Amino acid sequence: MEDLGLNNYLVVIQDLVTRFGLNLLAAIVIFFIGQWIAVFVRRLVRGLMSKANVDPTLASFVGNLTYYSVLAFAVIAALNRLGVQTASLIAILGAAGLAVGLALQGSLANFAAGVLIIIFRPFNVGDLIEAADVLGEVLDIQLFTTTLATLDNKQVIVPNSSLTGSNIINYTVRGKLRVDTVIGVAYEADIDQVRQVISEVLESDPLVLKEPTPTIAVMELGDSSVNFAVRPWAKPEDYWSVYFNVHENVKKRLDAAGISIPFPQRDVHLIQNN
C-alpha cells in the first residue's frame, strides 16, 4: 500500500513537471516569436517612415514604441501560458501608467508639441526664429525641447510646448528679409538728388538683393527734416550687415554731396510784457 501511494505521488509530480515544462517551453517559444515579430515590425515602420521622408528622430521613436508595444503583448501572452493571472497585472500596469502620466503631464505636453514640430516643421535646424520671447538660430530639435543660439551667442533650451503655445516668427523660411530704415534730410535739400544718392549706395552694396527692388520714398515731412523710407532687401544672414552698411554709407555719401541731416530744431518766441 505504501509503494502504491508513493507511486501515485511520483505520477502526480511527474505529470506536474511535464505540464509545467511544456507550458514553460511554450511560454519561451511565444516570447521569442513575439520578440522576432517586434523587431520585424520596428524595421517595417522605420522603413515606411523613411520612404515618406519623416524626420529620423520621429521615425526612430515610433519604431521603438511599436517594438516595445508588441514585446509587451508577447510577455503578457507568455505569462498567461504559464498560468499567471494577467488581468490583475494589466490593471496594475494601467493604474501605474495613469499615475505616471499625471505626474509627467508637463513632459507629455512637451513631447506632444515636439511631435507636432517634427511633423509639420514650422522651422528647421539653422533657421532664425523668434518664439517664446527668444530670438535665435535653431541648433537642435528634440522631442521635448528645442535648442536656440541667440544673436549674442547664448544657448537657450526652450520647452517645445512653449514654442507651439506662442506665435512663431521664422525669418529664414522665405529666403529674404526687408531692411527698414529711415533717413532724414534738410528741407532745403533736393529730393531727387537725395533719392539718387541713396539709390547709388544701395546699388553699390553687394549684400543688397536686386530683386525685389529697394524702396526709396518720402515717408513724412517731419518737424525738422524730410524723412525717406529706405527699404532694401537682403538674405536673413546678411540683415544686420546691410542695416549697418546702409546707415554708414548713406551718411558718407550725403556729406560728400553737401546734403545735411538736420538736428531736431525748435523755434522759441519770447514775449515780453511791460
Q: How far apart are the first and last CA of the chain?
A: 147
94 Cβ contact partners less than 8 Å away, ≥ 6 residues apart:
none
Has residue 66 been placed in a domain? yes
Q: In this predicted structure, what is the pLDDT of residue 268? A: 76
Phi-psi region of 223 (alpha: psi -120 to 50; beta: other; left: phi over 0): alpha
Same domain, 78 and 155: no
In the numeric block, the cell 527699404 is attached to 231
Same domain, 189 and 126: no
Q: In this predicted structure, what is the pLDDT of residue 165? A: 87
Same domain, 158 and 80: no
Has residue 133 been placed in a domain? yes
Q: In this predicted structure, what is the pLDDT of residue 248? A: 94
Q: Are 144 and 159 in contact (CB under 8 A)?
A: yes
Same domain, 9 and 86: yes
The SS3 call for residue 147 is: strand
Q: What angle do CA 129, 157, 113 make, to 5 degrees?
A: 75
pLDDT tens, per residue, the chain with 274 residues: 445 455 555 555 556 556 666 677 777 888 888 888 888 888 888 888 778 776 676 677 677 778 878 888 888 777 777 766 666 666 666 666 656 555 545 677 888 888 888 878 899 888 999 998 999 999 988 878 899 999 889 999 999 999 988 899 999 988 899 999 999 999 999 999 999 999 999 999 999 999 999 999 999 998 889 999 999 999 988 999 999 999 999 999 999 999 888 877 666 777 777 6
Q: In this predicted structure, what is the pLDDT of residue 203? A: 94
The alpha carbons of the chain give a radius of gyration, in whole angstroms, of 36
28-38 per-residue burial string, b: 16 or more CB within 10 A, e: under 16 = eebbeebeeeb
Same domain, 162 and 76: no
Same domain, 181 and 128: no
Has residue 113 been placed in a domain? no
From residue 67, give the alpha-carbon distance in Å to each of 39, 60, 87, 115, 233. 6, 10, 22, 18, 50
Query: For position 164, which CATH number holds?
Result: 2.30.30.60
Same domain, 214 and 156: no
Instruction: Count structural domains, the chain.
Output: 3
Has residue 134 been placed in a domain? yes
Has residue 91 been placed in a domain? yes
> Prior bond to 56 cis, omega within 30?
no
Helix (H) or strand (E) holding 74: helix 56-81
Has residue 117 been placed in a domain? no
Has residue 48 been placed in a domain? yes
From residue 274, give the alpha-carbon distance in Å to each of 260, 271. 41, 10
Domain that residue 165 falls in: 122-170
Query: For position 58, which CATH number holds?
Result: 1.10.287.1260
Grid coordinates standing for 14? 511527474
Torsion of CA 247, 248, 252, 254, to 10 degrees: 0
Same domain, 225 and 250: yes
Has residue 111 been placed in a domain? no
Q: In this predicted structure, what is the pLDDT of residue 80? A: 77
Phi-psi region of 121 (alpha: psi -120 to 50; beta: other; left: phi over 0): left
Same domain, 20 and 92: yes
Q: In this predicted structure, what is the pLDDT of residue 31? A: 82
Same domain, 26 and 97: yes
